[in-house]
Amino acid sequence: MVARPQTFWLSLGALSVGFLLWGNVAQAEVPEASISSHFTAKLGNFAVHDKALKSYGFQPVGSAFQPTWGLRGRLYHESGLIYGGAMTYGFGLTDEDPDNPVPTTTHLVTMGGLLGYALYGGTAVEAEVGFASQAVTVGSERQGGALVYLGPYLHPRLTYTVSPREPFLQVSLGYYLHVPVGAAHSNPLWEDSFDVPVIHAGTLSVEIGFAR
């Protein structure tokens, strides 16, 4: 993959620690509303079918790491409830291979609602629920196609708001679960189904945006 997991995790970890040191760990102030862009690193079973892909002459996904970007909007109730919505996009591309000039790409899109509850000192628990689409395009000089995984997803996480006002800063740890429904492809020439019962990944997210 173009994105190297070691570099992303180290950079994201350093950024998160910096935010935590900058923020006030006892901060209990809660905004009324926020909108933020996020970078979320996912580490999971995205390369589960690499061995089968290679047997068909396709490039393997090659990495369990998937970087994603997106938006999250929240409204905060005085009772501690948090609700809103979120969308995410992710893209991955394999490195150049002299034996196969056709790269394997991964596209991930999620859209869902968000529900949470504010705890103590800027921490909160949240759960995102919605619909996810993950498409893996593969090809070689002889054939090609796509593996498409459509279905509901759940993304619970523990968040820490470093700054509740502008700039709104938040970091979170979570776990992503996507349950595909239906077949991944309809190509009669492929003996393998390439189905995945559950696509899952640990997540680390950094958000920055606006709040009032």
Give the mean pLDDT of the chain: 89
Q: What is the pTM of this model?
A: 0.84
Share above pLDDT 70 across residues of the chain, in percent, rounded to a whole number: 86
Inter-CA distances, 71 with 86, 109, 110, 114, Å:
6, 12, 11, 12
Domains with residue ranges and CATH for the chain: 5-211 (2.40.160.20)
pLDDT digits (tens, 9 = 90+) for 184-208: 999 988 989 999 999 999 999 999 9
Q: Region 124-134: what's the mean pLDDT?
A: 98
Handedness of CA 164, 167, 171, 172 (dihedral sign): positive
Is 70 exceeded by the pLDDT of residue 14?
no
**Rg value, the chain, Cα:** 19
Residue showing tokens 């470093």: 162
Q: Region 48-57: what's the mean pLDDT?
A: 94
Q: What is the pLDDT of residue 30?
A: 75
In whole angstroms, what is the distance from residue 92 CA to residue 77 CA? 37
